[in-house]
Structure 1
Amino acid sequence: MTGTAARPPYGRGSLGIEVADRSTSLAPPSEKASFGNEVDFYGKPVLGSQGLNQVGFHVFQTGENISYGGPTNMPNITFEINPNLAAAPATTYSSLVWLPAASPVTNAWSGYLDATTTGTWFLTGNAGTVTGCNLATPCPFPLLKSALNDGGAQPTIYTAAVGKGRDNMWIGAVDGLRINGTIYDFEAAGVRTRRAS
């Protein structure tokens, strides 16, 4: 792809993600890739005015990726969290994962995909079981936040990442990851931060 459709939404670079199918000895045998931050988000709240209120990214989705796993064969955003659920006080770890809806365009950069209003979210492990927002029954973002707000201590973030899980082959790119008021612009020399307008 060349021309304006191939230009990332920010700068000149983007975060390329490639995972292969049937390439490991695991079950399922697909690869997993994650690119994230284990420092800057540690201890930050999930809920409330200082919590996760703006999340999303731009994606370069290809027709081949759709042929590998359907229109929702997309990368995700994952926050490792302490869910602090009153209903499961011993559960101190879960992955909070956004599953995007299908990209509105293929073989071109999408507009901003807002994870707070599109797609669904789930929690891994016991937190998913307790809240009902698990991989089998993912929830819209407002319902997920309500399920986490069960009267226990406020859930907190450990890490944040963009990635692709062990389901289908995917070769594409992400740019302009937004977490609240900051946009992360992936460039060859590193990640630049921009203030969201």
Structure 2
Amino acid sequence: MNARFSMSRKKALLVTALATIVAAVLPGSAQAGGGGNHDQPNHWGVITRNTIGSPVAELRDGPYGSFGVKGRFARPPYGQGSLGIEVADKSTSLTPPSEVVDFGNEVDFYGDPVLGLKQLGFHVFQTSENVSYGAPNTNMPNIRFEINPNLTAAPTTTFASMVWVPPSPLVVDQWSPYLDATTTGTWFLTGNAGTVTGCGQPSHCSFQQLMTALNDGGAKPIIYTVGVSKGRDFMWIGAVDGLRINRCTYDFERTGVKALCGHDQHPWA
């Protein structure tokens, strides 16, 4: 009896050790789940169902420069990489003919409270050419949340995109300072949610006005997905880095997306 027990115990320990090794070597094998697990790099990528045409959203090194630019604004604010984005304005047979791309996360933020969003923003590499492509309109990438707005006045509306339209940075052909989505630019909701709240297109709202409109006394709005988006409007070729969502900043690197949370956030380190 003792011999059998000893052998079974050894087998159990061996199985446990092997399982631990597999879990350590294969992080992608962890079960996907939302509601606060925001540091899974393998959950970031192009959101295919929201992408039209043949745009590019690729993790890359750089960009550096442009020529003649020196100092911290001549390189990505975090690490050595960024999210490179390229969209065309007249390249499809659709109406409008422009492209759109979403690069984001459909897993880790699912079910999180919209009203819990307190800090949002990013850094952008904007070019003078991009400015001219959109002139006189602002031509910039967006932060886009897909949400259930849970509006008391529209209980059957269970989907809307919540989109930040950032201001054009004061500098071009180099990396911008941090652009704060809670204090600059405007926000809007798509579809019926925008109509009901008064924060639709073209009647955009400030971030605080939008949060007030969504906090209407009923069920709280929840997040489905989060992403960096561009289109469907003007041609744009540039890059984004340091996407801030509350206490975490997402560092886009060629090798993956790194979550820098709390004291790990060091821009231009």
Q: TM-score range by the shorter chain?
A: over 0.9
Match of 2:88 among 20, 39, 45: 20
- Higher-Rg structure is 2
Shift of 1:75: 0.1
| Corresponding letter in the other structure for 1:6 | A
What residue number does 2:9 align with? none
Q: Does 1:63 pair with 2:128? A: yes
- Stretches of structure 1 lacking an aligned partner (at least 5 in a row): none
| Corresponding letter in the other structure for 2:152 | A
Q: Are the counterparts in 2 of residues 72 and 103 from structure 1 also a CA contact under 8 Å?
A: no
TM-score normalised by L of structure 1: 0.96
For residues 140 and 104 of structure 2, what CA distance do their matches in structure 1 show? 17
Deviations 1:73-115 (A, max 9, x none): 0000000000000000000000000000111210010000000
Shift of 1:135: 1.8
Match of 2:202 among 111, 136, 144: 136
For residues 196 and 146 of structure 1, what CA distance do their matches in structure 2 show? 27
Structure with higher helix content: 2
Deviations 1:1-59 (A, max 9, x none): 24444310000000000000110111111000110000110000011xxx110000000
CA RMSD of aligned residues (A): 1.1
For residues 135 and 73 of structure 1, what CA distance do their matches in structure 2 show? 16
For residues 152 and 31 of structure 1, what CA distance do their matches in structure 2 show? 37
Q: Are the counterparts in 2 of residues 121 and 139 from structure 1 also a CA contact under 8 Å?
A: yes
* Pairing of 1:1-197 with structure 2 (within 5 A): 1-2=66-67, 3-4=70-71, 5-47=73-115, 51-70=116-135, 72-197=138-263
Runs (4 or more) in structure 1 with deviation over 2 Å come to: 2-6
Identity rate of aligned residues, in percent? 69
Closer/same/farther in 2, CA of residues 196 and 25 from structure 1, 3 Å limit: farther
